[in-house]
Structure 1
Amino acid sequence: MDIIRSLFQGTVLLQQWRLPATLVVAVALSLVSILLAWSRRWRRSRSSAALNLPPGPQTLPPLGNLHQIGALPHRSLCALARQHGSVMLLRLGSVPTVVVSSPEAARDVMKTHDVHCCSRPAMAGPRRLTYGYKDVAFAPYGGHVRDMRKLFVLELLSMRRVQAAWNAREAQVDKLIENLTRVGLNPVSLDEHIFNTVDGIIGTVVFGEIYGTEHFKMQFVDMLNEAMDTLGSFSAEDFFPNAAGRFVDRLTGLVARRDSIFRRLDAFFDEVIDQHLNPTSNKLIGEGSSRSDLVQALIELCKDNAFTHDHVKAMLFDTFVGGINTSCVTMVWAMSELIQHPRILKSVQDEIRAVVGKKERVSPSDVPKLQHLKMVVKETLRMHPPLTLLLPRETTQQVNIRGYDVPANTRIIVNAWAISRD
């Protein structure tokens, strides 16, 4: 017992010493980070003395303006923009960031200077989950992104893919109606039903028939939700891209969580690809079944192009991250607003009944005639944009936005929420 007690006490003492040592290392690395940031800022201030930089609030070393960003960043940035203008320069940690909050400034970024503002900044989470930027959405701009974007658009927007999406949509809508009918007059969680419908549509188009199995579906949904939480978590490395930022992410456990979900997603995607490469060994797919899903199309592209299975997995990740949540959020908000405005709800219902007539469901030819419904969707997107802050961009060279000079390698954030409420 004495030996066990002494070992236990030694362990406790060791743990007591570890915390101060960790804090000392963290403080030392933070001081190094501050000195490096001040050095870079001093050199940059000398080189940019002649530039007409955008206005912005005072910074607080070493945080910059991070302390001014609240729990709802789009609202915090909108409030700051009212004080400093629609083109505003912030320093988020050690990263210079320009926030644009007007339609004119956004047009300069996304249209006039799109060629020089279309790259993506290096971010730890997307880099890990997209296999080192082998995707389209998060990858820095270059030849790889151009080639992948062309192929991805051709595959997603081909007539065969559109038809497959429509067939999947009809099947999932039938399931939704059946489930809601079964519930009757009891209260329902509308967002859950909508999520299952959108998830079923995208999953069927991407993975094919194997997505119809409940175990397969729920396994992926759980991993996708965890991946989204990981991407949405604060990463110190994104704002302090140095050893100090990486150390803090390891200290908070974010790196471990990120690596864990990456390994699970990677194993899942490997299983999906193997089932497509060896369809005869897959009991979930019957003989003679059609294999025209997106995974199969991307695998075929690997045979004719310099793409690997990692590219396929990164593109699949993009498809679900960009497709499911945005569609679900928009539909939930649209239904919420319609319920809050019964008169508009009735007018939309009357329009659908008048256009569809005695048919059981809306057909593709009916959609252009539903003008009132289109206006409801557009107003929903204006009031509740699924992405309040668009994916950050990065300048590849110096550009001029609304009369202000924005140096190269500056991060740009478009506040879509502020623009829609201008």
Structure 2
Amino acid sequence: MLTFSMANMIGQVILSRRVFETKGSESNEFKDMVVELMTTAGYFNIGDFIPSIAWLDIQGIERGMKHLHKKFDKLLTRMIEEHTASAHERKGNPDFLDVVMGHQGNSTGEKLTLTNIKALLLNLFTAGTDTSSSVIEWSLAEMLKNPSILKRAHEEMDQVIGRSRRLVESDLPKLPYLQAICKESFRKHPSTPLNLPRVSTQACEVNGYYIPKNTRLSVNIWAIGRDPDVWESPEEFRPERFLSGRNAKIDPRGNDFELIPFGAGRRICAGTRMGIVLVEYILGTLVHSFDWKMPDGVEINMDEAFGLALQKAVSLSAMVTPRLHQSAYAV
């Protein structure tokens, strides 16, 4: 459900419409495709370490990726065709894809091919859906494990927003505890624990280690977030750590290396700001709108699943009940 919502919110920004009108087989297929991409991209590939045998594709990873590519290409082609057909409805009010496609036939400067545009859409949808939804799921799981955190979040939201309406984006800066919960989730459960690989452009030395030119590097963001030399009681989920002291000024946008869930530098995630707002907004809406609890006798499984994105090994299953006035849920 979270992945479905994320895809539609990104679709509103990029395409001026929901990507999936109803939650059915098409949205489920999209979710499965994103999970497959993130899982496959995180596999240990023998060919990456022994290039001379890479062409054999011993594990079938490349073959699987090519098959997945065809399915994504079909979906993206349909999106672009539908967007082009409805161009007259957006006359004078172009969206992101309109602007990008305007450069496709531009005679001056760099031209974008249809393949370039599809690749851009693929990056935006895949990098922004499963990653954001996993952070929200981890946040909810941690709050269910620590009911006092959920209670404090409810108290803050009732004071700032009340129960007669739902949360809106302009409320977020007034909810420091909610923002601290998100930061703590980014620290303990970064959506891409090893980030994406980098390649050194020149030889260098880091902490006594010699790194040759063209070395493939992975930054262990997961380990940085749990380093006891950096964080006090790193295994504990404590949003309060971001409300006072030196951590109060730490921001997940790449300038503080203690907390870099989106990477840092020139190769930082292009959707960093949008991702932070979406996580805060959707998590805040879910927490504010509902009471959450686990079924009696059921314990939360906090095991992690291996892949490019940090998924829960067992999806969160919880009981929710409305906590706002009935009028607040009207569409």
**TM-score scaled to structure 2, two decimals?**
0.60
- Amino acid aligned to 1:271: R
CA root-mean-square deviation = 2.4
Aligned to 1:198: 6
Aligned to 1:226: 36
- 1:276 matched to 2:87? The reply is no
Inter-partner Cα distance in structure 2 for 1:347 and 1:210:
33
- 1:340 matched to 2:153? The reply is no
Q: Deviations for 1:160-203, whole angstroms, at most 9, x for unmatched residues?
A: xxxxxxxxxxxxxxxxxxxxxxxxxxxxxxxxx32322232123
- 1:212 matched to 2:37? The reply is no
Pick from 196, 221, 235 the counterpart of residue 416 of structure 1.
221
Inter-partner Cα distance in structure 2 for 1:345 and 1:358:
16
Inter-partner Cα distance in structure 1 for 2:76 and 2:163:
43
Matches for 1:333-372 after TM superposition, within 5 Å: 333-357=138-162, 359-372=164-177
Matches for 1:15-26 after TM superposition, within 5 Å: none
Pick from 262, 275, 297 the counterpart of residue 99 of structure 2.
297
Contact 1:348–1:373 (CA under 8 A) maintained in structure 2: yes
- 1:260 matched to 2:67? The reply is yes
SS in structure 2 at match of 1:310 = helix
**Aligned-pair CA distance for 1:292:** 4.0
Inter-partner Cα distance in structure 2 for 1:373 and 1:219:
32
SS in structure 1 at match of 2:44 = coil
Pick from 48, 57, 60 the counterpart of residue 238 of structure 1.
48
Aligned to 1:392: 197
Pick from 272, 290, 308 the counterpart of residue 113 of structure 2.
308
Inter-partner Cα distance in structure 2 for 1:401 and 1:414:
13
**Aligned-pair CA distance for 1:382:** 1.3
Inter-partner Cα distance in structure 2 for 1:413 and 1:348:
35
- Aligned in 2, Cα 1:417/1:334: closer, same or farther, shift over 3 Å? same
Q: Deviations for 1:314-347, whole angstroms, at most 9, x for unmatched residues?
A: 1111112211121111111111111111112111
Inter-partner Cα distance in structure 1 for 2:18 and 2:174:
35
Which structure has more helix as a fraction of its residues? Answer: 1
Pick from 125, 128, 145 the counterpart of residue 320 of structure 1.
125
Inter-partner Cα distance in structure 2 for 1:303 and 1:325:
33
Q: Deviations for 1:189-227, whole angstroms, at most 9, x for unmatched residues?
A: xxxx32322232123333443623346544433433333
Inter-partner Cα distance in structure 1 for 2:83 and 2:2:
28
Inter-partner Cα distance in structure 2 for 1:267 and 1:194:
23
**TM-score scaled to structure 1, two decimals?**
0.48
Aligned to 1:53: none
- Amino acid aligned to 2:194: L
- Amino acid aligned to 2:203: Q
- Aligned in 2, Cα 1:386/1:226: closer, same or farther, shift over 3 Å? closer
Deviates more, 1:233-242 or 1:221-230: 221-230
Identity of aligned residues (%): 31
Aligned to 1:288: 89
**Aligned-pair CA distance for 1:253:** 3.0
Inter-partner Cα distance in structure 2 for 1:359 and 1:302:
47
Inter-partner Cα distance in structure 1 for 2:18 and 2:170:
30
Q: Deviations for 1:367-420, whole angstroms, at most 9, x for unmatched residues?
A: 111111111111111111111112111111122323443221112211111111
Contact 1:204–1:212 (CA under 8 A) maintained in structure 2: no
Structure 1: gaps of 5 or more residues? 1-192, 281-286
**Aligned-pair CA distance for 1:364:** 2.9
- Aligned in 2, Cα 1:239/1:273: closer, same or farther, shift over 3 Å? same
Contact 1:392–1:413 (CA under 8 A) maintained in structure 2: yes
- Aligned in 2, Cα 1:207/1:226: closer, same or farther, shift over 3 Å? farther
- Aligned in 2, Cα 1:323/1:279: closer, same or farther, shift over 3 Å? same
Contact 1:204–1:293 (CA under 8 A) maintained in structure 2: no
Q: How many residues align?
A: 221
Higher relative contact order at CA 8 Å, sep ≥6: structure 1 or structure 2? Answer: 1
Contact 2:204–2:210 (CA under 8 A) maintained in structure 1: yes
Contact 1:382–1:420 (CA under 8 A) maintained in structure 2: yes
Inter-partner Cα distance in structure 1 for 2:145 and 2:33:
34
